Chains A and B, each alone.
Chain A
């Protein structure tokens, strides 16, 4: 009974302070929403990777693979006849029109149970139909619909839950479709293998055993992307928690008289703390439910872009529709509880240590003492040193993100002191009484606003940092595309025979016909695409080398040298002077490193003659054609007509450029969206802080009003104050944002993608962001200002009649 009475007394506070309640719930809900939205996206993507890995059995079954990616079928039979219970598998990509589809071939007779995707059901005759030509291919319904009645494919059947873009069929059918007769790509092993079998190496040399791994290669490849998203989710969550912390702190301080009364009436301190904890938990629960629902919306809105990014950047297929587990929902509510607990911890701790008759001091919580500020500054300094150390000695993606975190937190902690110093300086410079009061009053408000201002600065710095990174990347990328796309036309023949004719035909009409032939082979343990290029002036003039040995092109042409892309160079430390072994040839000299953006994989370029020697079966279908730009369109038309080529097989430079830029822009859509959301949350934090402060500020404003200022003047000053603070925060956020951009470009990008980019600075973007920041600050201050301007004089007069 006592508890119920006490709890209702405590809760009644929120009914009387609806703005505070709203800001608490909204802050927590938004924090939860952004966090759980990002989690949902990550979970969805991971689920897709796991399903992809499950399809290949990578998650449960060990596999034998060959160094060159191809396992001879004879090795499979030999292993079986030696007693190894392996099952064959073939995986490859099939290009149809402009789309590429993944083909997976399995042997249903030997495959361990569970290799075929769950839910694969067919009628009686289908088992025979599956393995007998023309076979039967299973794919996700959308895949089947997209393929329609594409000629050359087995009959298709929809399979719910299958990975988008994947076709599962019998191994023999897949071999024929991929044109890989008697070849396999992997042998899977069931979980239990009998003892006493002869070693694999004595039966089939060159096969390597890989242990089962959830998520598979794609998960490893995309880890950095998801870490990136998680970091943003965390940032948004932190920004949201600033709001919650402020609202809870205020709610506690304003209720000190109630606490005092309740304790005086005999409620034990422990019970009071418990009740307040229960109260916070109840509020967190409500906010958590709202937040998770909002998070679902955020995730659903962002997922298509994320899926496009992952497909464009990593070739990873992510289903476009959200399917979320109960664990996710509970996790979202859990993080709301954790967040609220973190935000309330300080207040509860203070209450625990407060003497029973401590006077009510509504402003005490916000009146940060000089000592507290010194402490914050000290912590900021320590963080700054840590950031420097991380920047100097940190390695890898985790260190990169730690650097970002330390830098942002340090900057946020230093902000109040810096602002206070600036405002004190301004106050000293002010000569007239009103400006003097304006600066002094702003400075005094600072503790109450600093959390919101920190949030704003984090958001602005993140915006500047990420914006600078993306814009630098865009500038570099477009320049690189211009360099890299050396030819006017790119033509792909349908068959090898046609390719021979095509080369003849083109040689007579174009300035040059350059082969774009490649094979994918494992190099240093990872799949690497190996290109063969002709010795041509176009490459000497244009190819974007970031490091080169003397005589690079000659070494490439005579087959003694290789070029590697930046990713591979950084990963394996392959710079000019190093040597590299390719399948079939060791001791090749690395003579140059070229930038290769938007490609997560390693790449190697060798002379085309060496390529055809090492890999005689390399497909020789694609060619780049150099011709005067004004003749390119006509040649494209002619070649299409002469060889009856599908439209997609002939692409001009502009189309490739447009496509590449499209992929690029989509890649950063999500980042941009999260950026804007974070800024929005920060603006909201400012609004809510100003709203809660507005009521408390009356005793400070009323005397000034009484001394002869109008309400409208005061309101204008309040608005001006918010704009001025936003502008100051922006000015301080610029260097932080630039440091952030530097860290992203020099540390995170290198670790995550394997490429380093020059940093470009775009002050025009800051102006735009500045306008946005002022808009956010202005909008946040507008409502409290209008309320002040319209406040009844009687309400102001009350100040003089009540003790505060």
Chain B
């Protein structure tokens, strides 16, 4: 019941890399949950495994043990097609390197996931375009945009499908401080507007401080 309320619920999660004696345990026994509308900063040193944790939450990677539930669906029990469907329908992803689809223009990139999910909403896309300051750039291709513009497209893409969960990995890590702050502002306000849950990985104390909640990953444990 309470579980139903959590958009993201992580239970007893463990992940390690490598094999045999070279095996390195990133973390184990991690548990936390994020409710709808909640915004959580995930911090930690470089190599602490915070990005991996985020990828596990997105179903991009598979944990060694434990489970990840997104909107009540246990990803670890799902086969790949269903996991892909969860990503498509429930999750919005924002990467440090933007990772737009290079062959699609701004408009197509922005609406791409929403349309894949079968929830095209032209009005919402137009609004996002305007809010993100992308008006007039709709027919450009990613390579023709600045980093800040690209990241704004990526945010638009993540929000266009009105997902339950936004997962952002250092969304301003590749931007200078001014455009980073602007992007952060847009991200937070738009997430708040859609009521989605947000988990944002960052190593910046300053940025983490702007989010109401915070999880710190160190030595394989959350604090």
Contact = CB atoms under 8 A, between A and B. Distances in A.
A and B touch in the complex (CB under 8 A): yes
Interface of A: 432-434, 436-437, 440-441, 443-444, 699-700, 702-713, 793-794, 796-797, 799-804
B112 A797 contact: no
Q: Which secondary structure characterizes the binding site on chain A?
A: helix
Contact of B80 (A443, A704, A712): A712
A794 B112 contact: no
Nearest to B167: A706
Nearest to A432: B115
Contact of B116 (A441, A708, A712, A797): A708
B113 A708 contact: yes
B53 interface: no
Contact of A708 (B88, B95, B102, B104): B88
A441 B108 CA distance: 12
B117 interface: yes
A433 B80 contact: no
Contacts of B93: 706-707
B172 interface: no
A793 B60 contact: yes
The 9 closest A-B pairs by CB, nearest first: A708-B88, A433-B115, A440-B103, A444-B103, A703-B99, A441-B103, A708-B87, A710-B84, A800-B95
B32 to A, nearest CB: 21
Contact of A800 (B62, B99, B157): B99
Given A706-B87, A707-B93, A800-B96, A700 B116 contact: no
Contacts of B99: 699, 702-703, 706, 799-800
A701 B53 CA distance: 22
B89 to A, nearest CB: 7
Contacts of B6: none
A713 B100 CA distance: 19
A695 to B, nearest CB: 16
A803 B97 contact: yes
Contacts, number: 89
Contacts of B209: none
Contacts of B212: none
Contacts of B88: 707-709
A801 B100 contact: no
A700 B141 CA distance: 13
A104 B137 CA distance: 86
B85 interface: yes
Contacts of A797: 55, 60-61
B123 interface: no
A711 B87 CA distance: 13
14 contacts: A433-B108, A436-B104, A436-B108, A437-B108, A437-B112, A440-B103, A707-B116, A708-B88, A708-B116, A712-B80, A796-B60, A797-B61, A800-B99, A801-B51
Contacts of A703: 95, 99-101
Nearest to B113: A707
A699 B99 CA distance: 7
A440 B108 contact: yes
Q: Which of A437, A706, A708, A803 has the most CB of B within 10 A?
A: A708
Nearest to B87: A708
Nearest to B52: A797
B58 interface: yes
Interface in B119-136: none
Contacts of B157: 707
Contacts of B87: 706-708
